[in-house]
Amino acid sequence: MRVTKYVMPAVAIVTLLGAVLVAKAVGAWQTSGRDMVDPTQPLTSADIRGWMPLSYLMERLDLSQAQLYEMLGLTADIPPETPLKDLEDTIEVSEVREVLAIYLGEALPDEEATPVGVEAAPTVPQPTATPVSQDPEADHIPGTGDGTGVGPTPLPEGQVLPAAEIKGRMTLQEVSEQCLVPLDVLYSELGLPDGISAGTALKDLVAQFPELEIESVREVVASYQER
């Protein structure tokens, strides 16, 4: 039987598309840099990522909107479709993990707190205040402020900020200085163009680059600090 020149290319294309569909069905096909989360397994606090919308957590954890919002301290006007990374001004992704770890029984609440039952919603952990010197001039590092007096308190000399303590309100410059990571390393590892100012806040970078998350910055810093 004679085979036309169009048959083999058509067969190849159909085979390729079929392979892609099968790979997607079994979870082996990944079309973005986001970590794959197995939908057949229970969601854990370690699975929580900044790209996840609030509605995704409600579905996977079998929580109502009111329950989840109360647990995370969110107001009712926030749309359920909002990704966690867009809530950095209200609650960090790391704090969401801590809250859900308590809810899922992966971690215990503070000893002074009322024990949390399965039906009870845990409270949002309160951030630890950083001690402030009585002499602001003694703690000020020239060239690191914006003239407003608002911003993270400079760390004592010789102390390095752990990667896990990085917040969305911090700028690239502050991360570099307080975590002792060169700016060129941050720009290179995060794939940032040279035109981005070192004074840009991380939360603004996340808004400008959808694939970037605060957790990505923490991972880059943690990797550098472990060297």
Q: Alpha helices of the chain — where are they, by DSSP H?
A: 7-25, 54-61, 65-72, 93-103, 136-139, 172-179, 183-190, 202-208, 214-225
Residue 111 reports pLDDT greater than 50: no
Name the residue among 159, 223, 153 with its Cα closest to residue 188. Answer: 223
Q: For residue 133, what pLDDT band results from cuts at 50, 70 and 90?
A: very low
Write down the pLDDT at residue 112. 41
Tokens in use for 33? 């840099």
Cβ count within 10 A of residue 164:
11
Q: For residue 217, what pLDDT band results from cuts at 50, 70 and 90?
A: very high
Q: Residue 110 domain-assigned?
A: no
How many domains, the chain? Answer: 2
Domain that holds residue 84: 45-103
Tell me: the pLDDT tens digits for 114-130?
444 444 445 545 544 44
Q: Residue 67 domain-assigned?
A: yes
Average pLDDT on 53-73 reads 93
Q: Residue 63 domain-assigned?
A: yes
Q: Residue 143 domain-assigned?
A: no
The domain boundary residue, chosen from 60, 76, 103: 103
**Cα separations in angstroms, 139 against 24, 33, 135:** 54, 40, 7
Q: Residue 165 domain-assigned?
A: yes
Q: Residue 134 domain-assigned?
A: no
The domain boundary residue, chosen from 78, 103, 128: 103
Residue 1 reports pLDDT greater than 80: no
The domain boundary residue, chosen from 58, 77, 103: 103
Tell me: the pLDDT tens digits for 142-151?
444 444 444 5
Q: Residue 178 domain-assigned?
A: yes
The secondary structure of 56-71, three-state, reads HHHHHHCCCHHHHHHH
Buried b (16+ CB within 10 A) or exposed e, 133-163: eeeeeeeeeeeeeeeeeeebebbeeeeebeb
Write down the pLDDT at residue 14. 62
Residues 6+ apart with CB under 8 A from 61: 43, 68, 100, 103, 104
Q: Residue 183 domain-assigned?
A: yes
Write down the pLDDT at residue 176. 93
Residue 3 reports pLDDT greater than 70: no
Burial of 190 from C-beta contacts in 10 A (0-12 / 13-18 / 19+):
middle
Arithmetic mean of pLDDT over the chain: 75
